[in-house]
């Protein structure tokens, strides 16, 4: 898939008035939520809203996802059946929350295969797995590789904090108790880095978790840049006001791309001269620098063509 996946906006399934706004907005991906933003008594209503919206709203080229209820609830199997049987072909990804074991991913794959066959669905639905429990984090490599349907891993920060027993002040934010000299450290570092490594190893997209304080623009930008620095492909958003900043953070900027092109040119010259390591601006470049620079240029070109 070559579509960008920088920002991913959450929309509660019980607020259908927000669906057209999300569809018309600049988020690369939208996920309609049946899980934790929907009270227990409104699960069926949310499911009906979402099924209708999958069929009737023009979602453009967005990655369109629905987050189902947890596999240990009485709702999840009904969610899958309704989405695939009644939702039409447009749905790209089913997001599965609180994945804790690769066998859950295998079970989801089987369930989707059966329902797709029964519904005569032509296109295979993908899976986006939310890693947000201690168990899920501990088994994330096996989870990421458990089915060819897996397209992305998503860090769920609020539930993860609860599951790990972390003391956090706000969703995805920093904590002054976790500080070193010169400023605050990032208590999410381990989980973010771990999920990114597992996703990249499995060849799927790592998506960083949301930043809960949607009025704190500086905090969001810093969090997005931290995720990008570690290798995240994009970041979830819980408010449309966060999308532009996330898109900007995950778009290679002109300076970075120009520098990557200089690296490639310098390496080409070095190789022509029979060398594999060379200096540029007083810094070492070697073959690994080519891979990083090529990835950056390829990404910029993909986005320019998107
Ligand atoms: N998708 C699309 N549009 C949204 C939106 C969303 N998730 N959240 C807010 N909007 C719209 C509002 O309707 C409003 O539109 P208007 O300018 O046409 O009136 C505008 O954006 C500004 O919204 P605002 O009044 O600041 O927000 P709110 O108080 O209505 O809602 C939240 C705030 C956090 C409750 C809401 O953004 C939300 O539900 N976010 C998603 C939460 C979620 O799904 N969590 C679970 C997954 S992590
Ligand atoms: Mg959660």
Distance (Å) from CA 215 to ligand 1 centroid: 12
Q: What is the pTM of this model?
A: 0.95
Which residue out of 239, 240, 241, 246 has the highest number of ligand 1 atoms within 8 Å of its CB and is therefore the one to mutate?
A: 239
Distance (Å) from CA 55 to ligand 1 centroid: 22
Q: Find out whether the beta carbon of 296 lies less than 6 Å from any atom of ligand 1.
A: no
How far apart, in whole angstroms, are the C-alpha atoms of residue 269 and residue 278? Answer: 9
Name the residue at shortest CA distance from atom 25 of ligand 1. Answer: 239
CB atoms within 10 A of CB 244: 15
Ligand nearest to the CA of 159: 2
Q: Find out whether the beta carbon of 95 lies less than 6 Å from any atom of ligand 1.
A: no
Residue 284 CA from chain centroid, whole number? 33
Q: Give pLDDT, residue 142.
A: 98
List the shell of residues around ion ligand 2, using CB closer than 5 Å: 132, 156, 159
How far apart, in whole angstroms, are the C-alpha atoms of residue 52 and residue 240? Answer: 22
Q: Give pLDDT, residue 1.
A: 52
Rounded alpha-carbon distances, angstroms, from residue 165 to 141, 161, 168, 238: 22, 6, 9, 23
Digitized pLDDT (tens) for each residue of the chain, 306 residues in all: 578 999 999 999 999 999 999 999 999 999 999 999 999 999 999 999 999 999 999 999 999 999 999 999 999 999 999 999 999 999 999 999 999 999 999 999 999 999 999 999 999 999 999 999 999 999 999 999 999 999 999 999 999 999 999 988 789 998 888 887 778 889 999 999 999 999 999 999 999 999 999 999 999 999 999 999 999 999 999 999 999 999 999 999 899 999 999 999 999 999 999 988 888 999 998 888 899 999 999 999 988 875
Q: Find out whether the beta carbon of 302 lies less than 6 Å from any atom of ligand 1.
A: no
What is the 3 state secondary structure string of 59-105?
CCCCEEEEECCCCCCCCHHHHHHHHHHHCCCCCCEEEECCCCCHHHH
Q: Give pLDDT, residue 306.
A: 59
Q: Find out whether the beta carbon of 238 lies less than 6 Å from any atom of ligand 1.
A: yes
Q: DSSP H helical segments within the chain, as ranges?
A: 19-24, 43-56, 76-86, 102-119, 134-138, 140-144, 157-164, 189-202, 217-230, 243-249, 254-272, 287-305
Atom of ligand 1 nearest to the CA of 19: 2
Instruction: Please write down the long-range contacts of 290-298, taking CB distance under 8 Å and 24 or more positions apart.
Output: 290/263, 290/264, 292/260, 292/263, 293/259, 293/260, 293/261, 293/263, 293/264, 293/267, 294/260, 294/264, 296/252, 296/256, 296/257, 296/260, 297/257, 297/260, 297/261, 297/264
DSSP state of 148: T
- Residue written as tokens 């904590």? 175
């Amino acid at each position: 898939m070559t579509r960008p996946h920088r920002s991913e906006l959450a929309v509660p399934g019980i607020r259908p008035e927000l669906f057209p706004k999300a569809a018309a907005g600049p988020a690369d991906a939208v996920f309609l939520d049946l899980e934790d933003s929907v009270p227990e008594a409104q699960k069926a209503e949310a499911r009906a809203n979402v099924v209708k919206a999958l069929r009737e709203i023009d979602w453009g080229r967005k990655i369109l996802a629905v987050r189902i209820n947890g596999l240990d609830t009485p709702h999840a199997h009904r969610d899958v059946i309704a989405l695939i049987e009644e939702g039409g072909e447009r749905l790209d990804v089913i997001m599965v929350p609180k994945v804790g074991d690769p066998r859950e991913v295998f079970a989801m794959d089987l369930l989707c295969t059966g329902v797709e066959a029964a519904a005569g669905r032509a296109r295979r639905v993908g899976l986006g797995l939310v890693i947000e429990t201690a168990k899920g984090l501990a088994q994330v490599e096996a989870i990421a590789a458990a089915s060819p349907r897996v397209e992305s891993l998503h860090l769920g920060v609020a539930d993860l904090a609860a599951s790990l027993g972390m003391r956090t002040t706000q969703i995805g934010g920093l904590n002054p108790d976790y500080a070193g000299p010169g400023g605050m450290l990032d208590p999410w570092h381990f989980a973010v880095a771990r999920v990114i490594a597992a996703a990249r190893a499995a060849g799927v997209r790592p998506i960083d978790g949301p930043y809960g304080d949607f009025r704190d623009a500086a905090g969001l930008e810093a969090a997005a840049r931290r995720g990008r620095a570690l290798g995240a492909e994009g970041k979830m958003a819980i408010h449309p006001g966060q999308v532009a900043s996330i898109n900007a953070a995950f778009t290679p900027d002109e300076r970075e791309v120009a520098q990557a092109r200089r690296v490639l040119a310098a390496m080409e010259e070095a190789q022509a001269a029979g060398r594999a390591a060379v200096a540029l601006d007083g810094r070492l470049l070697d073959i690994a620098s080519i891979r990083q620079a090529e990835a950056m240029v390829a990404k910029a070109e993909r986005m320019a063509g998107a």
